[in-house]
Amino acid sequence: MNPPFREISLDGEYAIESNFPLADLLKPEQEYQKAYKDTMPKIRAAGFLKTQAVQEHIEDLMLYSSDLAQIKSALKRCYQIDVSFVKSMDDLKPNNLDNFMMKFQSTLDAAMEKYKT
């Protein structure tokens, strides 16, 4: 593979010809940023849902609201967090929230590894 060709313009700026499209250099970072924007709010939400005060609120909601959709709506309204990853009542338990956090973190780590290469 040949090194890129460089020349200096009269303005003192470099003009570089690359051996591959420069737009391809941005794709890994764009993919990582997309994964980050999709995943970080869920990691933060799961961590927030694990706190003792929120767990007590969830227990109260379970006592008075039998529907998962109502509980998710109340959590979203009260705390302005993304609870779209919650699919069942069991998902709101601290151990399951830990599992969600680990899964989301591994997704983010995989995106970071792909970005590094």
Domain membership of residue 58 (yes or no) is yes
Per-residue pLDDT tens digits for 75-101: 999 999 989 999 999 999 999 999 999
Domain membership of residue 55 (yes or no) is yes
Domain containing 43 equals 27-116
pTM, to two decimals: 0.71
Domain membership of residue 6 (yes or no) is no
Distance in angstroms (rounded) separating the CA atoms of residues 54 and 86: 15
Distance in angstroms (rounded) separating the CA atoms of residues 4 and 17: 6
Residue type for 4, please? Answer: P
Burial class (CB in 10 A: 0-12, 13-18, 19+), 76: middle
Domain membership of residue 60 (yes or no) is yes
Domain membership of residue 22 (yes or no) is no
Domain membership of residue 49 (yes or no) is yes
Give percent above pLDDT 70 in the chain: 78
Per-residue pLDDT tens digits for 9-57: 556 565 556 565 666 667 778 888 999 999 999 999 999 999 999 999 9
Residue in the block written with tokens 């609120």: 57
Domain membership of residue 12 (yes or no) is no
Are the CB atoms for 43 and 108 separated by under 8 Å?
yes
Residue 6 has pLDDT above 70, yes or no: no
Q: Provide the domain count of the chain.
A: 1
What are the two backbone dihedrals, phi and then psi, of residue 86, each rounded to the nearest 5 degrees?
Answer: -80, 120
Domain membership of residue 71 (yes or no) is yes
